[in-house]
A and B are shown apart, each in its own frame.
Chain A
Amino acid sequence: AQKVTQAQTEISVVEKEDVTLDCVYETRDTTYYLFWYKQPPSGELVFLIRRNSFDEQNEISGRYSWNFQKSTSSFNFTITASQVVDSAVYFCALKDPLAGNNRKLIWGLGTSLAVNP
């Protein structure tokens, strides 16, 4: 079965701390795509990153970095020196490889991150 698990429901940190959000996925396919989205308190869904299964290089974008490990089926997201503006719900998602033409995403339930001043 295709599944995405975000075991951390809520995380609370103090500003400037580093924080890692975990994402573990299940899929039988060898070719797949993973995504991270951010949902700030205003409610919209903001795309952060896409990763395909053939590219195991870690990605860094400013204070954000992603660690993709096929061996453990994980795609973890780290925020370095967190800021209050990072407070949001973060979703990990897997493009459903069984959905044919449908570009459906299988979503984790999200991790709510609170960064306190």
Chain B
Amino acid sequence: EAQVTQNPRYLITVTGKKLTVTCSQNMNHEYMSWYRQDPGLGLRQIYYSMNVEVTDKGDVPEGYKVSRKEKRNFPLILESPSPNQTSLYFCASSDRDNSPLHFGNGTRLTVT
């Protein structure tokens, strides 16, 4: 089944404790991206990647890192999480320009 898989689904952590949210897609998509969703602010892009070893900032990259060492994986790294990073995170991928984005099931992160 074609899908984007994010893990974990839920995560509660404390300020400053490094964490990684994994994202993997099995559709051989070149493009991958991370969004965060917050009430009243909608969905905002954090980072995106056009291909292996090609990543770039989205609209709200501060406090996040990503890597793209393999085509299928695009982890989101929070080196020192803070409470303002409490949010619902989505990973997405697509194959061609203007194609729909395929989203993972989301990761609900709480930083206390």
Seen from chain A, the residues whose Cβ lies within 8 Å of a Cβ on chain B are 33, 35, 37, 42-47, 50, 52, 91, 95, 101-105, 107-110
Assess the A52–B43 pair: CB atoms within 8 A: no
For this complex, 8 residue pairs linking A to B, each with C-beta atoms less than 8 Å apart, are: A37-B103, A43-B106, A43-B108, A44-B106, A103-B33, A104-B45, A105-B43, A109-B40
Seen from chain B, the residues whose Cβ lies within 8 Å of a Cβ on chain A are 31, 33, 40, 42-43, 45, 48, 50, 56, 58-59, 88, 90, 92, 94, 97-106, 108
Q: A95 vs B101: C-alpha distance in the bound complex, in angstroms? A: 10
Assess the A43–B105 pair: CB atoms within 8 A: yes
* A contact residues around B98 at 8 Å (CB): 33, 50, 52, 95, 103
Q: A46 vs B98: C-alpha distance in the bound complex, in angstroms? A: 16
Which of B40, B50, B106 interacts with A101 by CB under 8 Å?
B50
Q: A45 vs B92: C-alpha distance in the bound complex, in angstroms? A: 10
Expressed in whole angstroms, the minimum distance between the Cβ of B84 and any Cβ of chain A is: 19
Expressed in whole angstroms, the minimum distance between the Cβ of B59 and any Cβ of chain A is: 8
| Interface contact tally, CB-CB below 8 A | 58
Which of B40, B58, B100 interacts with A35 by CB under 8 Å?
B100
Assess the B102–A103 pair: CB atoms within 8 A: no
* A contact residues around B48 at 8 Å (CB): 102-104
Q: A50 vs B104: C-alpha distance in the bound complex, in angstroms? A: 18
Assess the A104–B58 pair: CB atoms within 8 A: yes
Expressed in whole angstroms, the minimum distance between the Cβ of B96 and any Cβ of chain A is: 9
Assess the B42–A110 pair: CB atoms within 8 A: yes
Which of B94, B104, B106 interacts with A103 by CB under 8 Å?
B94
Assess the A103–B97 pair: CB atoms within 8 A: yes
Assess the A107–B103 pair: CB atoms within 8 A: no
* B contact residues around A110 at 8 Å (CB): 42
Expressed in whole angstroms, the minimum distance between the Cβ of A71 and any Cβ of chain B is: 23
| Minimum CB distance partner of B100 in chain A | A47
Q: A35 vs B33: C-alpha distance in the bound complex, in angstroms? A: 17
